[in-house]
Amino acid sequence: MEPVTFSESGGIRYLHFGSELIQGAMRIREPDEIYLEYNQQMMAWLLFLETKPGMRIAQLGLGTGALAKFQHRYYPSVKTIVVELNPAVIVAARSMFFTPDDDRKLDTLQLDAKAFVKDRNYQGQFDAVQVDLYDAICDGPAASSLEFYKGCYDILKGPGVMTVNLFSRHKSFDVNLKNICEAFDNRVLLFPESHDCNVVAIAFKGPKLEAQWRDVSKRAKLIMEKTGLPTSKWVAGLSRLNARQESMLSI
């Protein structure tokens, strides 16, 4: 397991895996805020799914716990199941980044995500899956095979949405995108690259989704008003970057 280390600068606390590469970040005065832009975009499933009691989210990779904290605070009817292999990351998320202990809204499993998605007990159990799996080398996601992404597809309900953090300026990007597209029948959207070279992919399972972008924009505004997430640029970026999505969302 990689060593877990920390640094602080300008009121921001950073998570590292034994190197200078950043694995996550938190504004110390606003611990429930999602600080990094790509982390914010990992919540994009909210644009397409109505939150409701009994909803279940699988978060593969814990990091600083930013997504788990956010869902725990703003969406109390949603149950988040976190899958994290490294026990030191779990301890760090709770002690240094103020992630809540497990309760009725949060369940943390010390487990390999690749084994989790193959477990038949979890098939068809989740409304959304958030995938952010990186190691100390950070040369691409730690799980990127077609088999893995097919497993992510299998644990989703239909309709269901997966968000994945990809590293855009590395050869792993094309490999991951190809495998995601194959596993999800090419039903994939991409956010524009963020300033830190991350690209978040959104993949869909279930009935075909068609909507006017203005309606998606209204939903984005409601999310921003409730949570403070800076969603105002999401719709413009998604409609502009993805071919055949310029006039309306159809995927």
pLDDT score, position 27: 97
Pairing of strands 79-84, 106-110: parallel
Burial class (CB in 10 A: 0-12, 13-18, 19+), 37: middle
pLDDT score, position 185: 97
**CATH code, 36-208:** 3.40.50.150
pLDDT score, position 140: 63
Spatial contact of 60 and 115, defined as CB atoms under 8 Å apart: no
pLDDT score, position 168: 82
pLDDT tens digits, the chain, 251 residues: what are they? 778 999 999 999 999 988 888 899 999 999 999 999 999 999 999 999 999 999 999 999 999 999 999 999 999 999 999 999 999 999 999 999 999 999 999 999 999 999 999 999 999 999 999 999 976 566 667 789 999 999 999 999 999 999 999 988 778 899 999 999 999 999 999 999 987 789 999 999 999 999 999 999 999 999 999 999 999 899 999 999 998 898 899 99
Listed by start position, the domains of the chain span: 36-208
pLDDT score, position 137: 60
pLDDT score, position 34: 97
